[in-house]
Amino acid sequence: MDLQNEQEHEGASFEAYFRDPASAADSPLAWAVSQRSAVLDALRGLFSGPPAVVQLRVWCFMELVSVPHGRISREDLNQLFHLLLPQALDNVLKRFRDVGLLVWDATSQDYSLSILARQVHGLLAPLTQATGDDDDLAPLLAQVAGAQALGLADPSQLRHLHAQLARLHDDFAEAITSGSEARLRQAQPRFERALSLVDKAGHALTALIRTETDDPRLEKEARALGYAQARLLSMASQFTRAMQQADRQRVTLGSAGVTSSDVRMWLQSQDALHALLADARSTGVAPVFISQHDLLDVAEGEFERDRPDPQRTTGLPPPNEASSGQLEVPSMPPELGGLIAQLAQWSSEQATSAKNEMPLDEIVLGGRFAQAAYRMQLLPLLGDVQAQTLKGQTGELARSGWHAVLSTSVKLQDDPHVLVMSDGHLVLAEVADPIAGAQRKPEPQDDHEHP
């Protein structure tokens, strides 16, 4: 039915397909297409017929336009297409002559390509490029960048490139919104390729946007193209975050390092997923209890467990006075008290003698290694200004009137628990008592001053 309608309207004009034939002239694109009627006739003659014949014509045409000669003899054509049958070659050459792509010169007995053939070749040139997901973007970018470099930019080219960038943006936005790792992995190479192409053509696009022109349509399309380019480039961060989110959702199965993504890719590589089940669907699921006795014991305990009586009123318990207690403060280690007592005894003994120094090992050693180490750690508190303001045994130790003088050398000890320790001595000196408020300055000892 559709073929019959086309045959009935074959002789009709382009304006006859519009509701208002006069509105056909208002479209700039329709007017531009109408000016290329010869190109349309050549394309219609080139692509009419069965698919195999169309493929043969396109192949022969692209081979012809690639010959680096202005004129081609019939002998050269026979050598160029020696793989074809003679009848097939004659039919193709006849079609080229009929549609005006090939011109025969009877005087020189050779062929030449017409100007129309060069125009058609410019339209069909992308067919010779390698196939890929970005085939629809690369030719458009190449056309726009080349036209800008030559000063031949056309609003229709910018419009088509703008539309393609918008379609790519929508495709990548859908992949990001889906959150599917499979769709993101599938779209990632295409997205990176699109960004690379736009980045490489960025200088040409920027120059085109900033070019001052008298054509308002070209300026409008250039600004729209710049906006589409910015939208696509700004999506890079969103795509990166979506990929990171997909990586965080990946689950590692077991200790072998196999992830859920690996399982998905392996399942996608299988031709028949139903074959993996084999005969599993024909076998019924039968539960097997390994420890029946344990299950019975748990069930019996659950049945015999006391349960609250729903008839009994459940309220708050009656008030009860808290019992009296005593706050217990942990006592200090006995070594601290022994150290304070020993220093006090030495202070009373030094009052009757002129000697005000005591060996360090006499106050530190005694008992196990842990006790000796604890006493050694308490020595910096002797005479410490801040520690003297404390209450309790720590402040009492700091206000004892002694302070430790240590040297960098070590001294062998005759002790079963301590082999060596730092050499030094304790010096008795009058210090300030911040608790009592009496300020007493220590008197310097000339024979024990140190730099």
Least Cα distance to 232 among 305, 297, 164 occurs for 164
94-141 confidence digits (pLDDT tens): 888 888 888 888 788 888 888 888 888 877 776 776 655 445 677 777
Would you say residue 329 has pLDDT above 70? no
User: Residue 194: which CATH number?
Assistant: 1.20.58
- Residue 311 structure tokens: 């008839």
Domain boundary among 248, 267, 282: 248
* Domain assignment present for 19: no
* Domain assignment present for 87: yes
Task: Tell me, yes or no, whether 223 and 146 share the same domain.
Answer: yes
SS3 106: coil
* Domain assignment present for 289: no
207-228 confidence digits (pLDDT tens): 776 776 667 777 777 778 778 8
Q: 3-state SS of the chain: helix, strand, coil percent to 5? A: 60, 10, 35
331-355 confidence digits (pLDDT tens): 777 888 888 888 888 888 776 666 6
Task: Tell me, yes or no, whether 166 and 80 share the same domain.
Answer: no
User: Residue 65: which CATH number?
Assistant: 1.10.10.10
Domain boundary among 248, 277, 310: 248
**Most confidently modeled of 79-88, 214-223, 326-335, 425-434?**
79-88
* Domain assignment present for 260: no
Would you say residue 415 has pLDDT above 70? yes
pTM (2 decimals)? 0.42
Tell me how far apart the alpha carbons of residues 111 and 65 are, in angstroms, rounded to a whole number.
Answer: 12
Which region among 171-180, 321-330, 362-371 has the lowest average model confidence (pLDDT)? 321-330
SS3 214: coil
SS3 252: strand
Domain of residue 67, residue span: 36-128
Task: Tell me, yes or no, whether 124 and 142 share the same domain.
Answer: no
Is there a contact between 143 and 157 (Cβ–Cβ < 8 Å)?
yes
pLDDT at 206: 74
Integer angstrom CA distances of residue 101 from 97, 98, 268: 6, 8, 48
pLDDT at 451: 33
